[in-house]
Amino acid sequence: MNYLTRRLLTFPLVMLGVSIVVFVAIRMIPGDSITAMLGTEAGLLTPDQRAALAAYFGLDQSWPVQYWNWLTAALNGDLGISVTFGKPVMSIILERFPLTLQLAVMSMLIALIVGLPAGIYAAIKKEKPTDLTVRLLAMIGQSTPSFVIGLVFIYVLSVGFGILPAMGEFTPFWTDPVKNLGQMILPSLTLGFAFAAAVTRVTRSTMLDVLSDDYVRTARAKGVPARNVIWRHALPNALIPVVTLSGVEFGYLLGGAVLVEQIYALPGLGRLVLDAILQRDYALVQGTILFIAFNFMIVNLLVDLAYVALDPRIRLGEN
C-alpha cells in the first residue's frame, strides 16, 4: 500500500509535465488552428474577422494565460472544445478509445499466444534447426516495419484471396460482433506479428537462463516430469521480463498505432491525434495526449504489481 500510494502521488506531477511539453510543442508547429480549419478561405478573412476568431478560441492571449485557462478547466474535467469536430474533447476521446482498446487487447493476445510457446519451444530445442528457424522468423518479424506487414496482409488476404475486408466503415463490436472481428483481425495480426517476435526472443532468452539454474537441475534430478519442470518451475520465473515487455507494448498500443490505423482506415486514438495535429486542434491534441499518458501510467503500475504475483520474493515497498 505504501508503494501504491507513492506511485499514485506521482501521477499528477507526470501529467503536469506531459501537459506542459505537449502545450508548448503543438504551438511551435508553424501555422495556427484558424488557418488549418478554414484552409484557403482563411486568406479571405479581414484582420477584424481573424482577431474575432482568435479571441473566440483564446488564441489572442499569451501562452502562459492560455495554459493556465486550459489547466484550470482540465482540473474540473473540461478538456476544452475541439475546433475540428465542434464537440467536447472528452466525448471524442471516449468515442475513439473502445476501438483502440480492442485493437490493443487483440494484438496482445495474438502476440502472447504465438510468442510464448515459440520462445519456450526454441529454448528447449536450443541450437537445433527448429530453434534457428524460430529465431530467424523472430528476427524477420522485429525488423520488418508494421506498415509493410499490413500492406502484405491486405494484398494476400484481402486482394488476393478475398478472405478478410481490408477497410470500410468501422462497425463497433456491440453492433455486429462478426463484422467487427472481420475488420479488426488484419490490424491485430499486423501489430501482433512484430510484438510476437519480440515476445519470442525475450521468452527464449529468459527460459535459457532459468533452465540452467540449480533448482531446475535439482527438479530434474528428482525425476520431475519434463513438462512440470518447464511449466510449473521454469516458466513462472521467466515471465517477469515478458510481463515488462508486454506492459510497455500494451501502453504503446493504447496510445494508438498511427500507421496501422491509417492503413486500415480505423478511427482510433492514433489517427485522431494525427488528424488533430494536422488541423492544429490544440485542445484535442492536449486532451488526447494527456489521456494516453494516464493510461500508460496505469498500465505500468499494474505491471509492477504483477511482479509480486509472479514472484513473491519481490517487495515493492523496499528500496
The model's pLDDT over 65-118, given as tens digits with 9 standing for 90+, comes to 888 888 888 888 888 888 778 788 889 999 888 888 888 899 889 989 998 889
pLDDT of 13 above 80: yes
Helices 146-153 and 177-211 sit at what angle, rounded to 10 degrees? 130
Residue 33 has pLDDT above 60, yes or no: yes
Lowest mean pLDDT of 7-11, 151-155, 166-170, name the range: 166-170
* 10 assigned to some structural domain: yes
Confirm whether 83 is domain-assigned. no
In a domain, 316, yes or no: no
318 within a domain of the structure (yes/no): no
Q: Give the model's confidence band at 316: pLDDT under 50 very low, under 70 low, under 90 confident, else very high.
A: low
DSSP-derived 3-state class of residue 164: coil
Domains held by the chain: number: 2
The answer to whether position 315 is within a domain reads no
pLDDT value of position 232: 76
% of the chain at pLDDT higher than 70:
87
What pTM was computed for the model? 0.79
Of the residues 46, 75, 104, the one at which a domain ends: 75
Residues 180 and 229 in one domain: yes
Structure confidence at residue 158 as a pLDDT band (50, 70, 90): low
Residues 38, 168: one domain? no
More confident residue, 52 or 107: 107
Query: Which structural domain, as residue segments, surrounds residue 241?
Result: 90-310
- Please state at what angle helix 89-124 crosses helix 269-278, rounded to 10 degrees: 130
Dihedral, 288, 294, 299, 302 alpha carbons, nearest 10: -160
Query: Do 111 and 250 belong together in one domain?
Result: yes
Residues 28 and 172 occupy one common structural domain: no
**Does a structural domain hold residue 85?**
no
Q: CA 37, CA 230: separation in Å to the nearest integer?
A: 59
| Together in a domain, 66 and 149 | no
Rounded to whole angstroms, the Cα distance separating 19 from 16 reads: 5
Would you say residue 80 lies in a domain?
no
Q: Where residue 319 falls among pLDDT bands split at 50, 70, 90? A: very low
Residue 239 domain flag: yes
pLDDT attached to residue 60 = 74
Whether 95 and 44 map to the same domain: the answer is: no
Whether 131 shows a pLDDT value over 80: the answer reads yes
The β-bridge partners of 88 are 81
CB-based contact 74:88 (threshold 8 Å): no
294 lies in the same domain as 234: yes
- Mean pLDDT of the region 151-158: 74
Q: pLDDT digits over 187-222, tens only?
A: 888 888 888 888 898 888 888 888 777 777 787 787
Which range is least confidently modeled, 45-49, 134-138, 184-188?
Answer: 45-49
Determine the Cα–Cα distance for residues 155 and 153; give it in Å rounded to an integer.
Answer: 5
Looking at residue 286, which CATH number applies to its domain?
1.10.3720.10
Q: According to the model, what pLDDT value does residue 40 have?
A: 59
Phi, psi of 81 (to 5 degrees): -110, 130
Average pLDDT, rounded, for the chain: 80
User: Considering only CA atoms, which of 197, 179, 200 is closest in space to residue 116?
Assistant: 200
Residue 127 in this model has a pLDDT that exceeds 60: yes
Pair (59, 154) in one structural domain: no
* Whether the predicted pLDDT of 154 surpasses 50: yes
Task: Point out the domain boundary residue: 22, 48, 75.
Answer: 75
40 and 184 in a single domain? The answer is no
Q: Does residue 201 share a domain with residue 112? A: yes
pLDDT of residue 229 exceeding 70, the answer is yes
pLDDT beyond 70 at 12? yes
| Least confident window among 49-53, 61-65, 250-254, 298-302 | 49-53
Last residue of a domain, one of 12, 44, 75: 75
In the three-class reduction of DSSP (H, G, I as helix; E, B as strand; rest coil), residue 81 is classed as strand
* Same domain flag for 113 and 62: no
Segment 288-307 mean pLDDT: 84
Amino acid making up residue 102: Q
Q: In the 8-state DSSP scheme, what is residue 268?
A: S
Residue 35 has pLDDT above 50, yes or no: yes
Query: Are residues 261 and 197 both part of a single domain?
Result: yes
CA distance 159 to 163: 8
